[in-house]
Structure formats: structure tokens, C-alpha cells
Amino acid sequence: MADDPQDAVAEPGRMPVAATASAASPVGSASSDGSSTGRRRRTLHGGTSIWVALLWLGPALLLIIGVVVFPAVQLVRAAFSKYSITGLRLGDAGTTNFENVLNHSSLTTVLANTVVWVVVVVAVTVLISLAVAQFLAKDFFGRKVVRWAIIVPWAASLVITAKLFTMIYDYYYGTLNLILTTLHITSGPIDFLGDDRWTMASMILVGIFVSVPFTAYVFVAGLNAIPDDVYEAAKIDGARPWQIYWRITLPLLRPAMVVASVLNIIYVFNSFPIVYTLNDRNPGFLHDTTITFMYKLAFKSAEKDVGMSAAAGIFNVLLILIVVVIYLRTLKWQEQED
């Protein structure tokens, strides 16, 4: 006898239960897979959830906000504000502070000093560091000790180094004057930090002294990255040492030179301790760069104007950005020409 018709035939307008279940099953599976995939995308995008990433990045972000963003906002606010001689904010100043900086009588001298300071220190540092790097890249007895000794001037505090050179340059008791007079190179002591003819040169020497170690180490890393096969092929082709250095070493060392030059431009431009420590005895702005000019506007000049100092600080940031961009674009243009 046949089975009950209700088991085999569905009611009009309705699908069998089994068919309904089988038809609904893929949809439910797809929905489940879709929600699971969405959760995975939300929680596993990049390998971890966004909240875990923020948890790890949180301290760094807070540090950046506290050390970079907040001071930058306060600098801009101060540049557009008027302050009393004691540092109390008196209200908005508009663009008056910027106009006062641009119309300052010593601005031309300060800008000229900055150009000389940065260009000479960076250029001479790169040249000396190339020679030092070639020496440090060689394998010789005591190389590790020499490398440690060379890095000391860069690792030491700039204020300590500047104070040390202040004593070396001293007119009455300085070591340098003692050597020069003992060897009869000069007839008498030289006021290296008080004589306008010697002040900038004396500061430049210190700037080069503290910049060479870092630059030389960058070049050493660049030299070690050059394959030995390139040099061997050049020697087989009969290239001379100078040709190898000019046509192989320098071109392959260009990335390291770009990094070192850009970092040195920024470091030397912002080098406050050296310029201020060696030049603090001299009145006015005759030997100041834009960094010490900014400081003196707020604390050691007749103006004692925090607003002008903040405006000068904004000009400093814009100036260094423009210089770095021009330098990088010039290098890119030269590479395209090559």
C-alpha cells in the first residue's frame, strides 16, 4: 500500500519540508560565511584588530602628540599673539610679529651667517667623512678601537663639546694659543671667539668636528654594501684606483651620501648648543644663525618678544623644509640627466 500522500505531496502553494530545508541551507551557510568573513576583515585585517593596533601604537601616538603636535600648535598660537616683556599674553597680534621679524635690522646678517654655517660645515664634513670612511673600511690592527674613538665626539653632549672648545680657544689659557705661540706660528694669542675675523671659522671647526663621526659611519655602511665583484670586474678591465673610486664607488655610494647630507643639513641648521655656547659672549646678532636669533629675540635682546621669537621659529621650519626639498629635487634632476 502506498505511503500517506501527505508525506509525498505537499500542500498546494507550499514546498516540501525537506526541499525547504535543503534550499534554505545554502542561504544560511552563505549568510554565516558572510558575517564570519566580515568579522575576520574587521578583526584580522593586517593580521590584527584595529583596537589591538591602537593599543600598541597608543604610547607612540601620545608621545608624538605631546612632543610634536602640541608644541607646534602652541608655536603657531604664540606667533599670532602679543606678549608682555614678562611673557604674559596680551591678546592677538595678527601678522605683526612676522612683519617685525622680516623688518629686523639684523635679519640679513643672520641669514648670511646661516648659509655660510650650513654650507661650509656640511660640505667639509662630507669630504672629510669620505676619506675617514675609506680608512675605517680597511682591515687593520686596532680597527675596532679606532672606530670607537671616532664615534665619541658625536656621542658626547654638544654642550660639553662646545664648552671644551671654549677652553681650548681661550685667549689667556687656551691650549690652542699655547701651541701656536710656543711653535712661533703666531706672535701672540688670538681671540678666536672675540675677534670677528675668527669667530665664525672657530664655530665651523667645532661643527665639523662633531658631524664627521656620524657621517663617516653612514659612508662606511654604504661602502660595505657595495659588492666586491664590481671592484674585481673593474680591475680586470684595467681600471685605475682613481677611476674605480670616481666611476664605481661614488655612484654606488650616492644613496648613503643623500641620507647623510640631508640629515646633516637638518642637524647643522638646528645646532643651537654650538653656536650659542661659543658665541654667548658677543653682543648683538653679528655671528648668530637663525636658531640663536630666534632664542635671543625672546630672552637676550632689546625686544624680549616671545611673539617675534615664535614667528621666527615658523620661518625656521619653513626655511629648512624648502632647503631640503630643493636639495632632493636637485639630486633627482641630476639622476634623470645621468
**pTM for this predicted structure:** 0.77
Distance CA 216, CA 150 (A): 9
> Residues 278, 162: contact at Cβ < 8 Å?
yes
The pLDDT tens digits of the residues spanning 29-50 come to 444 444 444 444 444 445 678 8
Q: Can you tell me whether residue 319 is helix, strand or coil?
A: helix
**Cell representation of residue 59:** 604610547
The residue ranges of DSSP E strands in the chain, in sequence order, are 81-83, 89-92
Beta bridge partners of 81: 92
Going from the C-alpha of 265 to that of each of 122, 270, 289, the distances in angstroms are 7, 8, 14
The DSSP call for residue 68 is I
Distance CA 179, CA 185 (A): 8
Tell me the residue type at 66.
G
Going from the C-alpha of 133 to that of each of 143, 217, 229, 282, the distances in angstroms are 12, 7, 20, 37
**Cell representation of residue 190:** 688670538
pLDDT > 70: percent of the chain? 84
The pLDDT tens digits of the residues spanning 105-152 come to 899 999 999 999 999 999 999 999 999 999 888 888 888 888 888 888
Distance CA 199, CA 201 (A): 6
Sequence-distant (6+) residues with CB within 8 A of 307 are 78, 79, 80, 81, 82, 83, 93, 96, 97
Q: Give me the pLDDT at residue 131, please.
A: 93
The matching CATH number, chosen from 1.10.3720.10, 3.10.20.30, 3.30.390.50, 3.40.50.1220, for 107-287 is 1.10.3720.10
Sequence-distant (6+) residues with CB within 8 A of 60 are none
Q: What is the mean pLDDT of the chain?
A: 83
